[in-house]
Structure 1
Amino acid sequence: MSKELKTGIVIVLIIIGFFWGFNFLKGHDLLDGKARTFNVEYSKIGGLNKASAVTLNGLKVGQVSNIVFDERVATRGHLIVTFNVENDFEFSKNSVVRIYSPNPLAGSSLAIIPDYEGQPAVSGDTLQGEMEESLFTSIGERLDPLQTKVEKVIEKADTLFAGINKILNNETIDGINNSVTDFSVIISELKQTIRSVNNMVADNQGNLKTTIENTKNITENLNKLSDTLTTVNINSIVAKAENAIDNFNQLSKKLNANQGTMGKLLNDDKLYNNIEAATKELEQLLRDLKLNPKRYVHFSVFGKKPKEYSPSLPDSLQVIKE
């Protein structure tokens, strides 16, 4: 055997050993004929790549061998992940292959969630896949609606500040400053008023004390009066008042019914006219008696009869006739 042939054989053996050692370090034993191949379809793979580890119940049992796009029309854009399993542990076709991330700094891996019911999975089967949401993905999904709300709030705040800027022109600011100044003056005056009231209260503390005592005495007297009123027979007083009202009503009915002198006097016009005529005649009689007393009272020493009164003659003629 020539020296060149020996050198070529050694180089080939070194290349084969290097390739086998490299794959062995990655967890794939080329000499193991029990390796099985499975396919899984995902809409997204979340950073999964070739040579990513495949675990089963936490134990590494294989690795990802290939990732290609699905060319079918219905699922175009999806990704088909092919992975190898060197372990002969059996699980059914109903098992799920989940993409997960062991930690935020590490890449994604595949985890077989075994299901033992149904037909056993064999090499070449397509298993059901799912993707585990990571912490950052979950936070991002929750922050998205919050971000939308914050953006809306910021837009409304911008609109509000724009309106405020329009309102707060130089004249408005001057007015606000004047109002603040006036308010400060009012507060100062209120302080002075409070001081005056405090001084007044201090100066009249004795009078206030006397007033409070008098008020207390008045309250006590009112309580005594209230107690006295409670002892008064209010029912008897009310009954007497009702009787007086009934008597007055009966008197009013009699006056209106022409009963008695007062009733006839108030309601009988004829009686009123007669009384009025008699009053006038009495007045005339008294006037005539005052003017001509001799006509009614006559004294004669010698027994001379007075002349008879003739109503047809005036008073002046009666005097001449005598």
Structure 2
Amino acid sequence: MSKELKTGIIVIIVIVAFIWGFNFLKGHDLLDGEARYFKVEYSKIGGLNKASSVTLNGLKVGKVNEITFNETPEKRGHLIVRFSVENDFEFSKKSIVKIYSPNPISGSSLAIIPNYEGEMAVSGDTLEGEMEENLFTSIGERLDPLQEKLEKIMVSADTLFGGVNKILNQNTINNVNNSVKDIALILQDFKKTIKSVNSLVIENKESLKATLDNTKNMSDNFSKVSDSLASINIKQILSKAESAVDNFNQLSMKLNSDEGSIGKLINDEKLYDNIEAATKELEELLRDLKLNPKRYVHFSLFGKKQKTFTASEKEDK
């Protein structure tokens, strides 16, 4: 073999090795003709790059080959990830390709979540993509609204402190200090009052005890009186009172009627007039008896006849 031929073979081998290595670094394996290629679209890729690994149930089955922008106006800015699967394991078009991060310090990778329902996926299909939020992304998303709230709180607090500074001028501070002193004096007086009350209670302890005992005795007596009242036949008393009221009503009715002597005396006007006339005649008789006793009483030691009374004599008198 000539020297020139050897040199040509070496150059060809170097060129082939360079091309294979270059494509291998880009994620293309020229020696693997059975690889299948799929596409998936994301709004963000979270640190995913070319040559990132692709796993299926935790087993590495491929790698990311290319990441390009979507040029359609509707999805401008979205990213299209093209990856290869070197394993012949089959899964359906409903499978999901999720971006995840194995640990906080490593880059992101793709994980195929297989689905076996429906039509099986073939090379060139576009699968549905999801992104698994890592710890730092989740914390960041939760901290963003909290940061906004903290900023609002800080602004409100700044406004509040500004108002407080305007209110708390020197005069206000002096007034507050004076008020605090007054409160301290009031507390001292209150403390003295409490001590005085305690002393008064201690000095009159026996009297207070006696008063409480008397109160207890009064309460016991009242309880006994209450028991006595409870034992009284209230119904019988009320029945007797009702009977007495009925009797009084009957008496009142009889007095108001013409029945009986008292009723006639009260209600019969003729009887009243007769009694009044009789009373007047009796009064005149007594007066005449007093003025002319000889007309009615005759007394003689010698048996002289009684003189007969005539009306003319009465008239002469």
Give TM-score scaled by structure 2 length: 0.71
The offset of 1:272, in angstroms, is 3.9
Tell whether the 8 Å contact from 1:99 to 1:110 is kept in structure 2 after alignment.
Answer: yes
The alignment partner of 1:33 has SS state of coil
User: More deviation in 272-281 or 257-266?
Assistant: 272-281
**For 1:120-139, what aligned pairs fall within 5 Å after superposition?**
120-139=120-139
3-state SS of paired residue (1:60): strand
Query: Matched residue pairs, number?
Result: 312
CA distance in 1, matches of 2:296, 2:215: 78
Aligned to 1:241: 241
The aligned runs of 1:113-152 (5 Å cut-off) are: 113-143=113-143
Q: Secondary structure at the match of 2:71?
A: coil
Whichever residue aligns with residue 200 of structure 1, its letter is L
Given that 2:51 and 2:65 are in contact with CA atoms closer than 8 Å, whether structure 1 keeps it comes out as: yes
Contact 1:96 1:129 in 2 (8 A): yes
The alpha-carbon deviation at position 252 of structure 1 amounts to 0.6
**Cα distance in structure 2, aligned partners of 1:161 and 1:291:** 122
Q: Which residue of 1 aligns with 2:219?
A: 219
Change in 2 beyond 3 A, CA 1:202/1:118: closer
Q: Does the Cα contact within 8 Å between 2:27 and 2:64 map onto a contact in 1? A: no
Superposition deviation, residue 267 in structure 1: 3.0
Given that 1:62 and 1:86 are in contact with CA atoms closer than 8 Å, whether structure 2 keeps it comes out as yes
Partner of residue 71, structure 2: 71
Aligned partners of 1:63 and 1:144: how far apart in 2?
34
Q: Is 117-126 or 100-109 further displaced after alignment?
A: 117-126
Q: Structure 2 vs 1, CA of residues 231 and 42 (structure 1 numbering), >3 Å: closer, same or farther?
A: closer
How much does 1:257 deviate? 1.2
Q: How does 1:1-322 map to 2 (within 5 A)?
A: 6=7, 17=17, 20=20, 29-143=29-143, 187-276=187-276, 278-279=278-279
Q: SS of the counterpart of 1:68?
A: strand
- What percentage of residue pairs aligned between the two structures are identical? 65
State the SS of the aligned residue for 1:64. Answer: strand
Distance 1:184 1:252, change over 3 A: farther
* TM-score normalised over the length of structure 1: 0.70
CA RMSD across the alignment = 4.7
Letter in 1 for 2:81: V
Closer, same or farther: CA 260–52 of 1 in aligned 2, 3 Å: same
Q: C-alpha distance in 2, partners of 1:64/1:188?
A: 82
Q: Which moved more, 1:106-115 or 1:218-227?
A: 218-227
Q: Which runs of 5+ in 2 are unaligned?
A: none
What is the deviation of 1:98? 1.2
The 1:246–1:67 alpha-carbon spacing in structure 2 relative to 1, beyond 3 Å, is same
Q: In the TM superposition, what whole-angstrom CA distance separates every residue of 1:45-90 from its partner, at most 9, and x where no partner exists?
A: 2232223222222233332222222233444433211122334444
- The answer (yes or no) to whether the contact 2:54–2:60 under 8 Å persists in 1 is yes
How far apart, in 2, do the equivalents of 1:176 and 1:284 lie?
Answer: 105
What is the alpha-carbon distance in structure 2 between the residues aligned to residue 61 and residue 41 of structure 1? 19
| Aligned counterparts of 1:125 and 1:150: Cα–Cα separation in 2 | 47
| 1:73-113, Cα deviation, whole Å (9 max, x unpaired) | 44443321112233444433333211112223322221122
Runs (5+) with no aligned partner, structure 1: none
Contact 1:94 1:117 in 2 (8 A): yes
Deviates more, 1:261-270 or 1:173-182: 173-182
What does the per-residue CA deviation read over 1:103-153, in whole Å, with 9 as the maximum and x for residues that have no partner? 233222211223344444333222222222223333344455555666676
Aligned with 2:82: secondary structure?
A: strand
Letter aligned with residue 248 of structure 1: F
Q: Deviations over 1:182-222 (max 9, x none)?
A: 66565555444443333332222222222333333333334
Quote the Cα distance in structure 1 between the aligned partners of 2:200 and 2:276: 74
CA distance in structure 2 between the aligned counterparts of 1:164 and 1:275, rounded to whole angstroms: 105
